[in-house]
Amino acid sequence: MSRKMYINGMASIAAQTEEDLFTENLQSFSENIFPATSVNYKEYIKPMMLRRMSKAIKMGLVTAKRALNEAGVDVPDSIIVGTGEGCKQDTEKFLENILDENESFLTPTAFIQSTHNTVGGQIALDLKCTGYNMTYTQNSASFESALIDAKLQFTEEMGTRCVLVGGVDEIARISTPFYNLDGQLKAGEINTAKILQSSSEGTITSEGAAFFLLSEIRTQDSFAEISDCMIYRNISEEKLQEEISWFLKKNDLKIDELDVVILGNNGDTRYDHYYQQLQEDLFKNTLQLGYKNWVGDYNTVTAYACWLGAEILKRKEIPQQLKLNNLPLKQPTSILVYNQYLGKNHSLTLLRSL
């Protein structure tokens, strides 16, 4: 992916509000699973549609509509969604119905709404968009997979002018706590604000959605660009440093020209060494930001990280509570998002100001 994509509109919902992020008022949680903030969904979705929607659909549709609104676009040419686990709440509801009713009297709504592509489908229904509609479910590289497909939409000269692309995942009452069973979540007392200093295994999780309206051509609404995105299923720490240097070089950027790196440290002592090695070596002179201690780690949290990077480029302002080191910065122009989860799905996404 080497051709640029311009960001003309974007929105996100996560466990922290945008206002709290930039006013140093981020909240900490005492549970290893915590919800996204509440939004007045009725402002954006008709009540008769809203009544059937789980949180993933609501968050996805609202952020999609806000992104479109910011870009001044009514209907995009394509809708591409990344989701690691899809609509888990309705999946649970449907499975519980099967058990409660002894496999009879099954109602259709929860089943219809339980598939991974429900979010993309509901956005298309709401917008009356009959264009390309695709959902990517690639664990912690789901959003990046969607981004790469967005780029292909422009590259293959299919007449695509603007693409709505986003990532969304929700927590669910029964299935999310399963992560306690295989040690993905931290045990014992939790103070989410301090997990990056913890000496235990596991992390914290939450939910959220972030959507972007992207175009191949710069418009008057464009405020940043996604220059490149790469995914590595498996990679060693040594090879990772080489690949990051190569990635920056192919985007005509030297390491000392990179203004900010947004890292996915999540407090899991088994895997944070991927980040720590980079912090001490390749990025030692770069301003480093961490965010998962505030919004949790989930499969499409990198959509939030990209929203965060683009918001920093738009505002020319750094959320102080996210700083992992104390390097000064005046005018951010280039931001790299690096992420991995459980040592897999390493991804690099480069954002630049215009």
Partner 1 sequence: MPIMTDLHTELKASIIEQLNLEDMEVSDIENDEPLFGDGLGLDSIDALELIVLLEKDYGIKLTDPKKGREIFESINKMADFIEANRTK
Q: How far is the CB of 167 from partner 1 (least distance, A)?
A: 26
Q: How far apart are CA 232 and CA 248, in angstroms?
A: 15
| Residues that contact partner 1, how many (by CB under 8 A) | 12
Sheet with 260-263, edge to edge strand ranges: 132-136, 78-82, 162-169, 208-215, 5-13, 224-232, 344-353, 334-341, 260-263, 287-290
Which of 25, 27, 109, 269 is the binder for partner 1 (CB under 8 A)? 109
Choice between 48 and 181, CB closer to partner 1: 48
Beta strands 162-169 and 78-82: pairing type? parallel
Q: How far is the CB of 48 from partner 1 (least distance, A)?
A: 6
Q: Quick one: 52 or 344, whose CB is closer to partner 1? A: 52
Contact segment (CB under 8 A) with partner 1 among 45-53, 261-269, 279-287, 312-320 equals: 45-53
Residue selected from 18, 20, 39, 52 as contacting partner 1 according to rule CB under 8 A: 52
Q: Is 236 helix (H, G, I), strand (E, B) or coil?
A: coil
What Rg value do the Cα atoms of the chain yield, rounded?
20
Q: SS in 3 state form for 66-100?
A: HHHHHHCCCCCCEEEEECCCCCHHHHHHHHHHHHH
Does residue 107 interact with partner 1 by CB under 8 A?
yes
The interface mask with partner 1, positions 335-354, x = CB under 8 A, is --------------------
Q: Does 44 bind partner 1 (CB under 8 A)?
A: no
Nearest to 235 by CA among 347, 140, 138: 347
Does 48 sit near partner 1 (CB under 8 A)?
Answer: yes
99 is a site residue for partner 1 (CB under 8 A): no
Which span sits near partner 1 by CB under 8 A: 7-15, 106-114, 174-182, 218-226? 106-114
Residue 101 interacting with partner 1 (CB under 8 A): yes
Q: What is the 3-state secondary structure (H, E, C) of 271-329?
A: CCHHHHHHHHCCCCCCEEEECHHHHCCCCCHHHHHHHHHHHHHHHCCCCHHHECCCCCC
For the bound state, the minimum distance from the C-beta of residue 171 to partner 1, rounded and expressed in Å, comes to 20
Q: Which of residues 105 and 331 has its CB atom nearest to partner 1 in the complex?
A: 105
CB 197 within 8 A of CB 324: no
Least CB distance to partner 1 at residue 67 (A): 26
State how far the Cα of 213 lies from the Cα of 235, in Å rounded to an integer: 31
Residue ranges in 111-150 that form contacts with partner 1 under rule CB under 8 A: 112
Does position 38 bind partner 1 by CB under 8 A? no
- What is the contact surface with partner 1 in residues (CB under 8 A)? 47-48, 50-52, 101, 105-109, 112
